[in-house]
Amino acid sequence: MPALSVRHLLGIKYLNEKDIQLIFETADQFKEVINRSIKKVPSLRDITIANIFFENSTRTKLSFELAEKRLSADVLNFSASQSSVKKGETLIDTVNNILSMKVDMVVMRHPNPGAGIFLSKHVKASIINAGDGAHEHPTQALLDSYSIREKLGDVAGKKVIIVGDILHSRVALSNIFALKLQGAQVKVCGPKTLIPKYIESLGVEVEPDLRKGLLWCDVANMLRVQNERMEMSYFPTTREYTQQFGINKELLDSLGKEIVIMHPGPINRGVEITSDVADSSQSIILHQVENGVAIRMAVIYLLASQLNT
Ligand code: CP
């Protein structure tokens, strides 16, 4: 059976192109399963998975839980805000206590970049990074590329622009790694203060003008302005941000061509994207969420198959 080159999913940076294709082919099979009337397979009946979330989440948490249940795994849900972390328990103690209950896999979201990498070196379980600070969000990038492949037939050769708060975005970094591995062309667009200086070293071009970027691209991935990660002001006002880097129907219609609109969610409606664009026929935002379940099933299934090897 084909296997991933890694035992944990800590970031797209650690995957190769074959890994991504294997995840997509496996997700294709699970997508067929979850569209059947009986949406469950017995593949992971002997596996226990803990979802430990130290940060808020809607899409990632629910779709990991659903993916695990569709695979018939036993599921533990841990929310830091209701746990003994509040009494000062460390990350390693917390996870080792969970693992002593015979847990095989940990899905973790944490505010600190590298938290999953740290954990993988200290505990005996397969770790999946569900977002670590401004570092990586690998399953989001996988479901984003999978959604582009579904909509446009392939990712190779496609032109993708990532718009907005690149500096604080784990979604942007993981998407850049994933898109470049698959042979897409990538540009970023946003306020100068929210574009990291090293970005061009990742093989990405900077396009300061949103309209020019939209005329160039096949796909625009609009990022959320992450106010919670900003310790200072990166642009004068939200209104000015929206005027320069927000997408609205008038702008979209003026391009004279169809482009695919993506957003990882949660959306700040009226800031980076207006409702009429988010809900338009060019938007695949809810398809991204739907594909998240099949992609997470594939990642969990492939990592689980390596647990006792
Ligand atoms: N896209 C994403 O990670 O959303 P959540 O924060 O709701 O999981």
The rounded Å distance from CA 68 to ligand 1 centre is: 17
Is the Cβ atom of 157 under 6 angstroms away from ligand 1? no
**Residue 188, beta-bridge partner list:** 162, 206
94 is known to lie in a ligand binding site: no
pLDDT tens digit at each of 309 positions of the chain: 899 999 999 999 999 999 999 999 999 999 999 999 999 999 999 999 999 999 999 999 999 999 999 999 999 999 888 888 889 999 999 989 998 999 999 999 999 999 999 999 998 899 999 999 999 999 999 999 999 999 999 999 999 999 999 999 999 999 999 999 999 999 999 999 999 999 999 999 999 999 999 999 999 999 998 766 656 677 778 899 999 999 999 999 999 999 999 999 999 999 999 999 999 999 999 999 999 999 999 999 999 999 977
Supply the pLDDT for residue 232. 62
> For the chain, how big is the Rg over CA atoms in Å?
19
The rounded Å distance from CA 309 to ligand 1 centre is: 32
59 is known to lie in a ligand binding site: yes
Is the Cβ atom of 292 under 6 angstroms away from ligand 1? no
Summary mean pLDDT of the chain: 95
Q: What is the pTM of this model?
A: 0.96
**Long-range pairs, 277-286, Cβ under 8 A, ≥24:** 277/247, 277/248, 277/249, 277/252, 280/249, 280/252, 282/252, 282/258, 284/147, 284/151, 284/260, 285/261
> Of 57, 77, 136, 175, which is best to mutate to test ligand 1, by the most ligand atoms within 8 angstroms of its C-beta?
57
The per-residue pLDDT for range 177-217, each reduced to its tens digit, is 999 999 999 999 999 999 999 999 999 999 999 999 999 99
Is the Cβ atom of 140 under 6 angstroms away from ligand 1? yes
The rounded Å distance from CA 140 to ligand 1 centre is: 8
Is the Cβ atom of 60 under 6 angstroms away from ligand 1? yes
Query: In the block, which residue shows the tokens 């099979």?
Result: 29
168 is known to lie in a ligand binding site: no
229 is known to lie in a ligand binding site: no
Q: For residue 61, which atom of ligand 1 is closest to its CA?
A: 8
Give all domains of the chain, ordered by start, each with its CATH number: 12-136+290-304 (3.40.50.1370), 138-288 (3.40.50.1370)
- Residue 162: partners with Cβ closer than 8 Å, 6 or more residues away: 169, 172, 175, 176, 186, 187, 188, 189, 221, 223
Beta strands of 27-148 (E only): which ranges?
A: 48-53, 74-79, 105-110, 126-132
Cα gap 132→111, rounded to integer Å = 5
Is the Cβ atom of 226 under 6 angstroms away from ligand 1? no
- Residue 236: partners with Cβ closer than 8 Å, 6 or more residues away: none
Contact assessment for residue 229 and residue 256, using Cβ atoms and an 8 Å cutoff: no
Alpha helices (H) along 153-282? 170-181, 210-216, 238-245, 249-253, 275-278
Query: In the block, which residue shows the tokens 């997700």?
Result: 27
Q: For residue 264, which atom of ligand 1 is closest to its CA?
A: 1
Is the Cβ atom of 58 under 6 angstroms away from ligand 1? yes
Cα gap 109→307, rounded to integer Å = 21
